[in-house]
Amino acid sequence: MRQAGRMARRGFLGALAAGAAPLVVPASALGRSGSMSPNDRILAAAIGVRGRGNDLMKTLVRHKDTMLLAVCDVDQKVREQRTAEYNKSYEEQERGRNVASGFNDYREVMERTDIDVVVIATPDHWHAVLAIAAMRSGKDVYCEKPMTLTIAEGRAMVEAAARYRRVFQVGSQRRSEERPRRACEAVRNGRIGKLVRVEVGVGMRPVKPEPDAVEPVPPELDYELWLGPAPWAPYCAKRCHYNFRFVRDYSGGEMTNFGAHFFDVAQWGIGADDSGPVEVEGKGEFFEGLYDTFSKVDLTYRYANGVVMTGTHKFSGCKFIGTEGWVDADRLVGEPASALAAPVGPGEVQLYRSRGGHMENFLECVRTRGLTAAPAEVGHRSATVCHLGNIAMILGRKLRWDPKAEEFPGDEEANRLRQRPYRQPYVL
Answer yes or no: are the C-beta atoms of 241 and 54 closer than 8 Å: no
| Number of independent structural domains in the chain | 2
Domain assignment present for residue 107? The answer is: yes
E-assigned strand segments in 277-322: 279-286, 294-302, 308-312, 316-322
- Cα diameter, the chain: 66
Q: Say if residue 100 is in the same domain as residue 199.
A: no
Q: Say if residue 332 is in the same domain as residue 412.
A: yes
Q: Say if residue 400 is in the same domain as residue 315.
A: yes
Whole-number pLDDT of residue 20:
43
Cβ neighbours of 325 (radius 10 Å) = 19
Q: Say if residue 118 is in the same domain as residue 160.
A: yes
Q: Say if residue 183 is in the same domain as residue 113.
A: no
DSSP string, 332-361: TEEESTHHHHSPPPTTS------SSSHHHH
Whole-number pLDDT of residue 306:
98
Whole-number pLDDT of residue 40:
87
Q: What is the extent of the structural domain holding 286?
A: 177-346+377-418
Sheet holding 117-120, edge to edge: 101-103, 66-72, 42-47, 117-120, 140-143, 168-170
Which of residues 142, 174, 206 is at a domain's end?
174
Q: Say if residue 137 is in the same domain as residue 185.
A: no
Give the residue ranges of the chain where pLDDT is below 50.
Answer: 1-25, 29-33
Main-chain phi, psi angles of 211, to 5 degrees: -70, 155
427 in helix, strand or coil?
A: coil
For residue 34, give the CATH number of its domain. 3.40.50.720
Whole-number pLDDT of residue 7:
31
Q: What is the pLDDT of residues 364-395, one digit of tens each?
A: 999 999 999 999 999 999 999 999 999 999 99
Q: Say if residue 243 is in the same domain as residue 389.
A: yes
User: CA distances (Å), 323 to each of 58, 147, 276, in order?
Assistant: 44, 33, 22
Answer yes or no: are the C-beta atoms of 147 and 376 closer than 8 Å: yes
**Sign of the alpha-carbon dihedral angle for 384, 388, 391, 393:** negative
Q: Say if residue 58 is in the same domain as residue 114.
A: yes
Domain assignment present for residue 364? The answer is: no
Domain assignment present for residue 198? The answer is: yes
Q: Say if residue 219 is in the same domain as residue 108.
A: no
Closest CA to 278 of 299, 295, 302: 302
Residue 93 CB partners (closer than 8 Å, separation 6+): 62
Which of residues 154, 174, 194 is at a domain's end?
174
Whole-number pLDDT of residue 206:
85
Q: Say if residue 155 is in the same domain as residue 41.
A: yes
Main-chain phi, psi angles of 21, to 5 degrees: -60, 130
